[in-house]
Structure 1
Amino acid sequence: MIVKFCGLKRLVDVEMCNKLQPDMIGLIFAPSPRKVEKDLAKDMVLAKSPSIKSVGVFKDQNISEVIEIATYLQLDFVQLHGKEDYEYIKHLKDLGFGVIKAIEVERQENIKRAKRYVEIADFVLLDRPKGSSLDITEVAKLADFDYIIAGGITPENIDKFLNLNPVGIDISSGIETDGFKDFTKMKKIIDKVNKYKVGETKNG
C-alpha cells in the first residue's frame, strides 16, 4: 500500500520523511496555505531519500507552467486536482511524468467520473470536496477500481480507510499540529499501515 505524505513545506519535513520512509511526498504548487516556491521545492527534492517518489500538486494550471516546474524539479509524478482532461494528462504522460488524477467525490456520479481516468492516469485519487466534513469512506465503497484515498485521514481513524483496501492513502492535515508536520503523527500512520500490511500477508 502506498503512503503519501502531502503538503510538505519545510526541509525539516523532508528529513522526517527520510526517517519514516513513506512511498511518496507531495509538494503543492496550487493555491494553498501549504504552497511552496519552486526553489525551496528543489532543495526539498534533492534532500529526500532516493527511494521516496516526489509528487507535484497542481490545479487547473496552464500545462506549460506544470511542465516547467515538473521538469525543473525532475518530479516523479504530477498530481492534478482540477478539470484537467484526457489530452492534458496524455501530454504529461508522453513527456515521461507519472500522473495522479484527483477527483472530488460526494456521490456515485463522481465515482463514475473518476473511473474514466483509470485507463490514462497512473493512479486515480478519491478526495472529498474542499472544506467538506463528508465521510469519504462511505462514497469510496462504491468504487470498483483501484484508487488512492484522501480526505480526513488521521492516526485515530485510519483503520476505516485501510479496511477499504485502497491502493494507497494520501494524508496532509492529519499529520499536522498547528499547521506543521508532526513526526509523532506521521510515525503513527506508518506504524498502522505496516501493521495492516502484516495482517494482509497473514490473511492472504
Structure 2
Amino acid sequence: MSLSIKICGMADSGNIREALALRPDYLGLIFHPASPRNACNLNPEELAGIREAMKFVGVFVNRPEDEILARCEAYRLHAVQLHGDESPEFCHSLRGRGFEVWKAVGIETVDDINSLERYAACVDRFVFDRKSPRHGGTGKKFDWSLLPSYHLPVGFMLGGGIGPEDADAIVALRHPQLVGIDLNSRFELSPGIKDIGLLNAFFKSLG
C-alpha cells in the first residue's frame, strides 16, 4: 500500500533523529503555543543535517502570514499545514510563495466534507481530523464511514487518533484520494516524544 506517512508533533531534536531512521515521508513541527507538542522553542540549528534528508511540515493555527514565512525560512519547511480558520485567499497567497499548502479540516458530519470545494483550487492536500474547538489534538478518530462522501480531486491525509491497532483498517480503505496518514499522540511516550519501537512495528504492519 503506497501511502505517505507523516509523523507529527515532533518537539525534540534527538527524537527527530531517531524517527529519521524509520524513513517517514514527512515530519511535522507544531508552531502553536497552546499545544503540548509546541516546537516554537526548538532551535533550527539543532536540525542541521536532518532537513536535507527529510521534508518538514509546519503546523500553524490562525497565524499571520509574515510569521509563517519566517518559520518557513528558519526551519526550511517543505509544506505549511493550516489548522485554523484560514481563508482560501490566505491559502492561495502562501501557495504562491512556493510552499505546499495543506488545509486541516475537522470532520463531524458530511456537511464538513461538502464545504471543502472552495479550497480545492488553492491547497495541495487536505488533512482530515476530528472536529474540535482545540483545532485538533484530540487523539480521537472521526467517523471514517463519511469518507465515501468526499469526491474532490485534491488528495487527503487521514489523521485524528490513528493508533497502532488501526493498520488493518487503513490497509482496507480504498478511497482513490487517500494519499497518506498523519500519526501523532497515539504513538508517544510523552507529548512531543515519539515511541520509535511502536512506530517501527506500525510501519511494518502497513506492509
- Which of 137, 143, 147 is the matching residue for 1:136? 143
Query: Structure 2: where are the runs of 5+ without partners?
Result: 133-137
Query: Who is 1:92 aligned against?
Result: 94
* 1:60 to 2:69 alignment: no
Provide the C-alpha distance between the structure 1 equivalents of 2:36 and 2:127, rounded to a whole number of angstroms: 21
Aligned-pair distance for 1:65?
A: 1.0
What TM-score results when the alignment is normalised by the length of structure 2? Answer: 0.85
Distance 1:115 1:148, change over 3 A: farther
Give secondary structure in 2 for the equivalent of 1:66.
helix
Give secondary structure in 2 for the equivalent of 1:167.
strand
- Whether the 8 Å CA contact 1:76–1:98 is kept in 2: the answer is yes
Query: Structure 1: where are the runs of 5+ without partners?
Result: 196-204
Aligned-pair distance for 1:133?
A: 4.0
AA in 2 matched with 1:177: L
Query: Who is 2:135 aligned against?
Result: none
* 1:158 to 2:161 alignment: no
Aligned-pair distance for 1:49?
A: 5.8
Query: Who is 1:37 aligned against?
Result: 40
AA in 2 matched with 1:3: I
Tell me the alpha carbon deviations over residues 29-86 of structure 1, each in whole angstroms, 9 at most, x when there is no partner.
Answer: 0120000125x25135424263421100001111111111112222100000011111
AA in 1 matched with 2:156: Y
Matches within 5 A, 1:117-136: 117-130=119-132, 131=138, 133-136=140-143
Distance 1:44 1:6, change over 3 A: farther
What TM-score results when the alignment is normalised by the length of structure 1? Answer: 0.86
Provide the C-alpha distance between the structure 1 equivalents of 2:23 and 2:30, rounded to a whole number of angstroms: 19
- Whether the 8 Å CA contact 2:60–2:68 is kept in 1: the answer is yes
* 1:174 to 2:186 alignment: yes
Aligned-pair distance for 1:191?
A: 1.2
Matches within 5 A, 1:79-118: 79-118=81-120
Give secondary structure in 1 for the equivalent of 2:119.
coil
Aligned-pair distance for 1:25?
A: 0.2
* 1:183 to 2:190 alignment: no
